[in-house]
Amino acid sequence: MLELRNLSRHFGGVKAVDELDLTVRQGEILGLIGPNGSGKSTIVNLITGVYKPTTGTVQFKGQEISLMDPHHRTELGIARTFQNIRLFGHLTVWQNVWAARVVRDGGWAGLKQRWLSGAGAAREEAEQLLEFGDLAHKRDMLAGNLAFGEQRRLELLRAAASGAELLLLDEPAAGMNAEEIDALDNRIRSLRDQGRTILLIEHHMELVMEVCDRVAVLNFGRKITEGTPAQVQADSQVRAAYLGTDQPAAA
Ligand SMILES: Nc1ncnc2c1ncn2[C@@H]1O[C@H](COP(=O)(O)OP(=O)(O)OP(=O)(O)O)[C@@H](O)[C@H]1O
Ligand SMILES: [Mg+2]
């Protein structure tokens, strides 16, 4: 579904992403892990079009999108969540999800009309998402007033509401407690079971190892290995580079 080929992004002398080959297959949950500063968020920014590559290509469903505008990529079916939460803090929970759902049917043109009409299948779908994210009881709260874990949940709902086939989740578990992470685990699986493909960036190893079909490991912008969670956990390079220890990754 997504093919990164020889992809690099340099910032001055910093090789944030360096000659990366990575494939995300349709219907899988691919984990992307690596130490701080290893290039994970830069990869998301290259896939979504925030950054253009220094070299290499990004292909989505067979089409090269390396230089395409971000909003065109959204229309093709790519959505993300942000490591640093970005919601409409002054809008309610409902309005945040509704905005994401409404934009999907034809972008920004005629948006106001669609926003105000608010009936039918689209509304039903947005309501279901609120239930799915366990935020229906907070629908009229301003997003900015939600607890941190709830804001993370709302971000996920917004990405899902966009209808995207490919979801890029940049540290969705950051700042969550154990119970919230369990619930997130289930939600990520359900989204996949509904036909989404997921790229999951995370530092929570337990979540990554439990939920991912495959895991790719970055260090200094380069992929040092990829494989099943078990293979990656057993890899000595991963333990050395990523964990700085020779203990198993998810011990
Ligand atoms: N816009 C930018 N300008 C200059 N350097 C940047 C820029 N964006 C990222 N970098 C650098 O690129 C490298 C990779 O950063 P990136 O944010 O992709 O890492 P990351 O793996 O997401 O880290 P973390 O786990 O801390 O989120 C870092 O050295 C970072 O400082
Ligand atoms: Mg990051």
Atom in ligand 1 nearest the alpha carbon of residue 38 = 21
Instruction: Give pLDDT, residue 82.
Output: 87
Nearest CA to ligand 1 atom 18: 39
Give residue-wise pLDDT tens across range 31-70. Answer: 999 999 999 999 999 999 999 999 999 999 999 999 999 9
Task: Find, among 183, 161, 135, 186, the residue nearest to 74 by Cα.
Answer: 161
pTM for this prediction: 0.91
β-sheet with 14-24: strand ranges across: 14-24, 2-11, 55-60, 63-64
Give distance in angstroms: CA of 120 to centre of ligand 2.
Answer: 38
Distances (CA, A) of 91 to 54, 81, 98, 135: 37, 18, 10, 14
Do 94 and 100 form a contact (C-beta atoms < 8 A)? no
The mean per-residue pLDDT over the stretch 121-135 comes to 91
Give residue-wise pLDDT tens across range 92-127. Answer: 999 999 988 887 776 666 667 766 776 677 888 889
Give distance in angstroms: CA of 92 to centre of ligand 1.
Answer: 31
Atom in ligand 1 nearest the alpha carbon of residue 45 = 18
Strands 2-11 and 214-219, by their bridges, are unpaired
Side-chain-side CA neighbours of residue 133 (13 Å):
26
